[in-house]
Amino acid sequence: MDKEPLTRREYQARQRHEQEQPASAAPTSDAPTAGERPTREESLRLTKAKLEAERTANLKHRLNLVILGLVVAIVLVYLVLFFVG
């Protein structure tokens, strides 16, 4: 690299060029193509990702149920306070 300072436009053009170059050089994909089987590490990583997604979905569902229960409890408390007081 040269020691000359770059203008903002030159720097941004160089950054765009560097970002475009690896993308056009070789398309990389984490998922295996139709003809090849995934390696042991890839299948393990995919399994972990699926398990994590399932756990996240379960936690979201449980959180929604807890929120719903709290809302019902708050409404019940207000009803009791309104009719008793």
Residue 85 reports pLDDT greater than 80 = no
User: Would residue 51 count as lying in a domain?
Assistant: yes
User: Would residue 57 count as lying in a domain?
Assistant: yes
- Say how far apart CA 65 and CA 45 lie, in whole Å: 30
The number of CA neighbours under 13 Å toward the Cβ of 36 is: 10
Q: Which amino acid is at 38?
A: P
Q: Which amino acid is at 9?
A: R
The pLDDT tens digits for 14-56 are 888 888 886 555 555 556 566 688 898 999 999 999 999 999 9
- Say how far apart CA 28 and CA 79 lie, in whole Å: 60
Average pLDDT, the chain: 85
Looking at the 3D structure of the chain, how many domains does it have? 1
- Domain holding 83, by residue range, is 38-85
Confidence at residue 66, expressed as pLDDT on a 0 to 100 scale: 98
User: Would residue 77 count as lying in a domain?
Assistant: yes
Which pTM was predicted?
0.50
User: Would residue 56 count as lying in a domain?
Assistant: yes
Helices (H), 26-39: none
User: Would residue 50 count as lying in a domain?
Assistant: yes
